[in-house]
Structure 1
Amino acid sequence: MRIVFFINSIEGEAPHFTTTVLALAALNRGHEIYYVTPGDFVLRPDDSLMVRAVSLPRAKYKKPETLHKDLHGDGTKIETIDVADLDVLFLRNDPSDDAYERPWAAHVGAMFGRLASERGVLVVNDPDGLALAQNKLYFQGFPERVRPETLISKSIDEIKSFIENQPKGVIVKPLQGSGGKNVFKVDTPTDANLNQIFEAVSGEGYLIAQGYIPEAKSGDVRLFVMNGKPLELGGKFAALRRVPAKGEVRSNIHVQGTAEKVKVTDTMLEVAELVRPKLIQDGMFLVGLDIVGDKILEINVYTPGGLWSMSQMYEADFPGAVIEALERKREVHAANRTISNRALATL
């Protein structure tokens, strides 16, 4: 297959990013791999959709570090390719990374992804589904049973009133954003720094306030879901616990959170089952659920990370399982060209 990974930038990639290990698995299974960024699409007057793609040598790699080095080295070349000649377009960009410095780039993937799917390319996650998930408001469409009590507002009075009714405090963060940026815990509406927090976060738009879940002190669980079901290989789940650093409310790895093995419980599987219908409805092929207790804090549908760490922890080829699932989809598509991209994405 010819697989294209759509990312924010080549420079921003790292050896152990999930995108890197997926590309490694695909190359080692004999596929051609390309990378494209928001400025690389061209829609020509004859209505052909082209991409200026960075191609990797068709070689097998043992380590993601070697692939990453080649991606940034002289071994790559730029090719102009007709999108119709591709098999898979894997949308792996984080819109929030581009939202402020180059807002034009934030939703390019979904825009051109639609055009690619119209030309017979399998696009994952489904671009129309991703268009619905442009901020954390998307989370409100999932069953109330799995969501913490939540308020979305730009009014500090509304937020103070909400905090008054949350005896364990709240987490306040921007409605648009990811990666743990501007995430704060507020215990009472009289906290001395509440006004400063409000000013810092509201400058980015609407705020989301969620009732604090005490179990979050021990971290959250990132669970990968593929085709609507927890990603499992040989009885091992693609999951890990992200433990916050001392004095930190965020468990994100890039803010010194640590990753640990975790036993996936029946409660976690039940939570995943509750969100499965909507994930399938929206064509979400690969997502990351962030679970605390019996609640989901976030659903990452753009760039869920951690697959490399999980593969190392459990000695399981989770990236290979993802690529194998794409191979099966291609076979189904070859046999039935009328199947919709959204249906194919989660088949």
Structure 2
Amino acid sequence: MKLLFIVDPLPGLKIHKDSSYAMMREASARGHEIWTAQAETLCVRAGRIEIHAAPLSFSDTQYGHDWYTEGDYAAMALTDFCATVMRKDPPFDQQYLYATHLLSLAEAHGAKVFNSGQALRDFNEKLSVLRYPQFTAPTLVSQQEDDLRAFLAEHGDIILKPLDGMGGAGIFRVRNDDPNIGSIIETLTCNETRTVMAQRFIPEIAAGDKRVLIIDGLPVDWCLARIPKTGETRGNLAVGGTGVAQALTSRDREIAEALGPQLLAQGLLLVGLDIIGDYLTEVNVTSPTCFQEISTQSGINVAGLFIDAVERRAA
């Protein structure tokens, strides 16, 4: 098959842990033709949804920038590919939104896109947990300082986070006695002009913020618990958390099996649920990670499971 991966610039990929790299390498090992492109080159020309793409081949080198060779870039229609895998990282800004609209147009012309443009628009990675209140800790969404202060007064220990970030960026833990409450709220809400999310603090974060992967509606049997470093609340690997693979708990599986079929029906082939303790905290759909960490520690070929799903859906 001829597969297109829309990714961030290749020189910046950290191939020792990057999930997009693992996907592409797995697909190439199976004999598929791999092309890559950046989302900002999407365009509409003469009614066709095109992108500036180049063929990719892999070298034996596993380090540095010598792991790949690119062919010549060309304007290609998304319908020229058997499948397109959208893997651009957030932030989900206005340009990202435009890209999802172009992906939806391409799908209307017959292109197969994973995850679909419509699903990427519908499932904000923070707000989507509100669809599943039976699995979430107490949550507030607001841009009003009075609302956020009242939520803090009610729960005493909360997490504040922006709605468009990734990797733990912009996340604050706030307690009633924090002398910086006002400044934190002003900064995150841009003086009550930007909506944020507040969640009751979940002490089980000490045991890890678990990334549970759902592929083609089914949970991967092992997850990655991202354990905060000393003195840190966030477990994200991007801010120094330690990733420990572990088998799903019964609660992890309950949540994943309840959501999996619904998410697949909405056009989401790959989802990364974030679960702390018994609570769902995020539904990651843009570029879920942790493939390599789970594979290395558990022996499960997660990239293989994903490419299996792409092959099925593109056939």
Q: CA deviation at 1:209?
A: 0.6
Any idea what SS the aligned residue of 1:21 has?
helix
The 1-side partners of 2:44 and 2:99 are apart by 14
Report the counterpart of residue 275 of structure 2 in structure 1. 291
Q: Which has the higher strand share?
A: 2
Report the counterpart of residue 148 of structure 2 in structure 1. 159
The 1-side partners of 2:214 and 2:146 are apart by 38
User: 2:128–2:282: 8 Å Cα contact kept in structure 1?
Assistant: no
- Mean alpha-carbon deviation: is it higher for 130-139 or for 179-188? 130-139
Any idea what SS the aligned residue of 2:28 has?
helix
Q: CA deviation at 1:303?
A: 0.9
The 1-side partners of 2:101 and 2:7 are apart by 14
Report the counterpart of residue 238 of structure 2 in structure 1. 254
Report the counterpart of residue 229 of structure 2 in structure 1. 245
Give, as a single letter, the amino acid of the residue that structure 2 aligns with 1:257.
Answer: G
Equivalent residues in 2 for 1:28-47, closer than 5 Å: 28-45=29-46, 47=47
Report the counterpart of residue 217 of structure 1 in structure 2. 206
User: 1:91–1:109: 8 Å Cα contact kept in structure 2?
Assistant: no
| Residue 259 (structure 2) pairs with residue 275 (structure 1) | yes
Report the counterpart of residue 90 of structure 2 in structure 1. 95
Give, as a single letter, the amino acid of the residue that structure 2 aligns with 1:185.
Answer: R
Any idea what SS the aligned residue of 2:281 has?
strand
Correspondence for 1:266 among 240, 250, 253: 250
The 2-side partners of 1:70 and 1:144 are apart by 44
The alpha-carbon distance between structure 1 residues 18 and 64, as it changes in their structure 2 partners (threshold 3 A), is farther
Q: CA deviation at 1:11?
A: 4.0
Give, as a single letter, the amino acid of the residue that structure 2 aligns with 1:32.
Answer: E
Correspondence for 2:290 among 294, 306, 312: 306
State the Cα deviation string for residues 28-59 of structure 1 (Å, max 9, x = none): 000011111122223222x22322102212x5
Q: CA deviation at 1:223?
A: 0.9
Identical aligned residues as a percent: 28
Q: CA deviation at 1:192?
A: 0.5
Give, as a single letter, the amino acid of the residue that structure 2 aligns with 1:289.
Answer: L
Give, as a single letter, the amino acid of the residue that structure 1 aligns with 2:66.
Answer: K
Report the counterpart of residue 184 of structure 1 in structure 2. 172
Report the counterpart of residue 343 of structure 1 in structure 2. none
Q: CA deviation at 1:321?
A: 1.7
Equivalent residues in 2 for 1:22-171, closer than 5 Å: 22-45=23-46, 47-57=47-57, 65=63, 69-71=66-68, 75-96=70-91, 99=93, 103=94, 105-134=95-124, 136-141=126-131, 143-167=132-156, 169-171=157-159
| Residue 183 (structure 2) pairs with residue 196 (structure 1) | yes
Superposed CA RMSD in Å reads 2.0
Q: CA deviation at 1:12?
A: 3.3
Give, as a single letter, the amino acid of the residue that structure 2 aligns with 1:200.
Answer: T
Aligned length: 312
The 2-side partners of 1:62 and 1:11 are apart by 16
The 2-side partners of 1:18 and 1:40 are apart by 22
The 2-side partners of 1:26 and 1:279 are apart by 24
Please report the TM-score for the alignment, with normalisation by the length of structure 1. 0.84
Give, as a single letter, the amino acid of the residue that structure 2 aligns with 1:8.
Answer: D
Give, as a single letter, the amino acid of the residue that structure 2 aligns with 1:176.
Answer: D
Any idea what SS the aligned residue of 2:34 has?
strand
The 1-side partners of 2:6 and 2:308 are apart by 19
Report the counterpart of residue 160 of structure 2 in structure 1. 172
Please report the TM-score for the alignment, with normalisation by the length of structure 2. 0.92
For structure 1, list consecutive stretches of 5 or more residues without a partner in the other structure.
232-236, 332-347
Any idea what SS the aligned residue of 1:273 has?
helix
